[in-house]
Amino acid sequence: MAPGIQLRSTLSRSVLPDVTEEQLIYVLLEVSAQGVPTTMPKLPLNLCLVIDRSSSMRGERLQQVKEAANRIVDLLSEDDCLSLVTFNDRAEVVIASQRVRNKVDLKRMIGGVEAAGGTEMATGMALALQEIQRALVGRGVSRILLLTDGRTYGDEGRCVEIVRRAQSRGVGLTALGIGNEWNEDLLETMSARENSRTQYITSASEIAQIFTDEVKRMHSVFAQDMQLRAEMRPGARLRSLDRVRPFIATVPVTEEKDLVWATNLGDWPGSDPQAFLLEVVVPSLAVGDHPLLRLTLRYSLPGMNLLNQEGNVVLRIGVRQAASVGYDVDVTVKHWLERLVAYRLQAGAWQDVAAGRIEDASRRLQMAGTRLFEVGDVDLAHTVQDEATRLLRSGQTSAEGRKRIKYGTRGLMGGETQEREA
């Protein structure tokens, strides 16, 4: 079989009643690698580590970070480029962008990093962008790996702006927060683009594992420049598109022209299946079988020198007399939707908190807890309900609970199993 990406779609209901109004249908789109050799040639990696060395990192945290950086050096080869930038009140280039040749030297430079001072992230990010651009290559993966444990004051806007500039040049960001003090809104905003992600590290001992996992993921990027297009039948429209696997994230879509929606999905690290959930509004249709939409995925497989590949799938629905149509929905679609709803509810809750609507926020969190119980995520459900109760009693949430909920509902907690099959 020719190598490529296979598209598989499941509808919440494949048969709809013939009512005279619009109906909502959910589409689970699963994409998986097909006929891909198990050992893919590694893509050259252009990596910049950006490490917060403010005084709060002193001790075990910085020790673990150095350990993790050394392990990264071990994982890289001469094809790869590495740079290391640290920041506190100022930023400094510890390792200028270079090929990974003399690993002993690199590790010695890593060993010299010490913790002191405050947290000014933007200067660190600016230097990181400067270093990583020295080694920008056409083929390969460029990535900034940021680790912070604190809040940066007053330069949040610049951080976002620098990251956007990097992203527009094909440089992705992995933003890792450790502890409870850092600003999750900032990290989420910074990584809210394709090719970027954020993760929450609960304890220092996880740092090395998460760093090395991330580098392995980058090394094994299987597909690049993934673009999804959805062409609708007249009268139908795409209400939303969200990634649900490997983690939950809203995917911004643009209406390219009438009835055509398009979005950029970025790179595909590793070759584990990905899944997306689409909400599609179906117009009133006559009894019969109808095509509903066509989904087209364009992508490149750089490891196999296959550029501008395309796969597509056409979704069809049946419309029957209302009396003969039940209300059963596909359980797999419902499972992923339920996780997504929990994520949306907690996101809405934080907006309510920010606007001072404490009771609304608590109600949303309660319902998010109910949804999480239903999908079997009992620990997280308890965390959410505790936070809802705390909010109602004191009008406040805990920094830790909030981070656990934000990252947990997306499936982005360090050290926990992220995958759960329906």
Partner 1 sequence: MIRCSHCNAQQMNGTIFCSECGATLITEAPRRETTNALSRTIDGIPTVVEDGPHTVVPAPPTIAKASGICLVVINSGRRITLESGEELLVGRKDNQRGIYPDVDLGLDGGYDAGVSRRHAIISPSRKGYMLEDLGSSNGTFINSTRLAPQTPTLIAHGDELKFGTLILRFEIA
Give the interface with partner 1 as residue ranges (CB under 8 A). Answer: 12-13, 16-17, 19, 21-26, 281-282, 327, 329, 334, 337-338, 341-342, 344-345, 359, 362-364, 366-371, 373-374, 378, 381-382, 385, 392-393
In the bound state with partner 1, the residue whose beta carbon lies nearer, of 25 and 163, is 25
Label residues 284-312 b or e (16+ Cβ within 10 Å = b).
Answer: ebeeeebebbebbbbbbbbbbeeeebeee
b/e per residue, 151-172, with b = 16+ CB within 10 A? ebeebbebbbebbeebbeebbb
Closer residue to partner 1, CB minimum distance, 132 or 342? 342
Instruction: Give least dist CB 64 to partner 1, A.
Output: 35
CB of 24 to partner 1, least distance (A): 4
Smallest separation (angstroms) from partner 1 to the CB of 372: 9
Give least dist CB 363 to partner 1, A.
5
Q: What minimum distance in Å lies between the beta carbon of 352 and partner 1?
A: 12
Residue closer to partner 1, measured from CB, 16 or 190: 16
Closest CA to 401 of 414, 419, 388, 418: 388
For residue 255, the minimal CB distance to partner 1 (Å) is 19
Residue 102 or 396: the one with the smaller Cβ distance to partner 1 is 396
Q: Residue holding tokens 């990181």?
A: 128
| Residue 66, both tokens | 């150095």
Distance CA 158, CA 121 (A): 9
Contact 7, 23 (CB under 8 A): no
- 60-75 vs 103-111: helix axis angle to the nearest 10? 170
Q: How far apart are alpha carbons 409 and 391 in whole angstroms?
A: 18
Q: State which residue, 66 or 334, has the beta carbon closest to partner 1.
A: 334
Helix residue spans in 309-357 (DSSP H): 331-354
- Specify the residue, 123 or 385, whose C-beta has the smaller distance to partner 1: 385
